[in-house]
């Protein structure tokens, strides 16, 4: 284990990769949160319209919100664990290319997971596989930390 100076420095490509992709994932979650809020308002509006015109246009909008909300929830369950786990994993001084590959794999599969969940549904098991990649990265990092520290 190297010292904090060397590891948490903008000259360390592993830390840069971590900082960049973590920030991207957090901003993504932020927009997903705003999106859920706006869609909810839209749904309330549509509901009023639908009541007026006695149609059933509401259910689809509600389903869309539900999908977005669940995508957000799944993000919280996985990304909020990735952030501290990866921070500790970097402290264990892993091979740089391995660490950077894991970080990118996690970030990209989480972004695709959101797209597939909330915006462009595709048949399963696409989403499930994307979810498993993230879980695998988290689990691998977890076991590496336990191994490195003890």
Quick one: which of 112, 136, 116, 141 has its CA closest to 18? 141
In the complex, the smallest distance separating the C-beta of residue 55 from its own copies, rounded to whole angstroms, is 26
Which helix (H) or strand (E) covers residue 120, if one does?
A: none
Backbone CA torsion sign across 38, 67, 136, 126: negative
> In this complex, which beta carbon is closest to its own copies, that of residue 61 or of residue 127?
127
Name the residue with tokens 């997971």.
113
In the complex, the smallest distance separating the C-beta of residue 68 from its own copies, rounded to whole angstroms, is 12
Distance CA 18, CA 107 (A): 10
The correct pick among 50, 88, 105, 108 for binding its own copies (CB under 8 A) is: 88
In the complex, the smallest distance separating the C-beta of residue 9 from its own copies, rounded to whole angstroms, is 8
Candidates 22-30, 50-58, 60-68, 105-113: pick the segment binding its own copies (CB under 8 A).
22-30
What single DSSP character describes residue 129? H
Candidates 48-56, 59-67, 80-88, 105-113: pick the segment binding its own copies (CB under 8 A).
80-88
């Amino acid at each position: 284990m190297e010292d904090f100076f060397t590891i948490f420095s903008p000259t360390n490509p592993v830390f840069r990769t971590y900082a960049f992709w973590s920030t991207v994932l957090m901003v993504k979650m932020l927009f997903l949160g705003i999106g859920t809020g706006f869609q909810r308002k839209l749904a309330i509006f549509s509901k009023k319209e639908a009541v007026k015109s006695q149609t059933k246009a509401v259910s689809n909008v509600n389903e869309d919100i539900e999908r977005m909300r669940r995508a957000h929830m799944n993000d919280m369950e996985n990304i909020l664990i990735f952030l501290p786990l990866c921070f500790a994993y970097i402290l264990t001084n892993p091979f740089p290319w391995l660490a950077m590959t894991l970080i990118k794999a996690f970030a990209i599969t989480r972004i695709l997971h959101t797209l597939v969940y909330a915006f462009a549904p595709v048949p399963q098991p696409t989403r499930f596989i994307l979810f498993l990649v993230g879980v695998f990265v988290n689990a691998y990092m977890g076991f590496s930390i336990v191994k490195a520290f003890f």
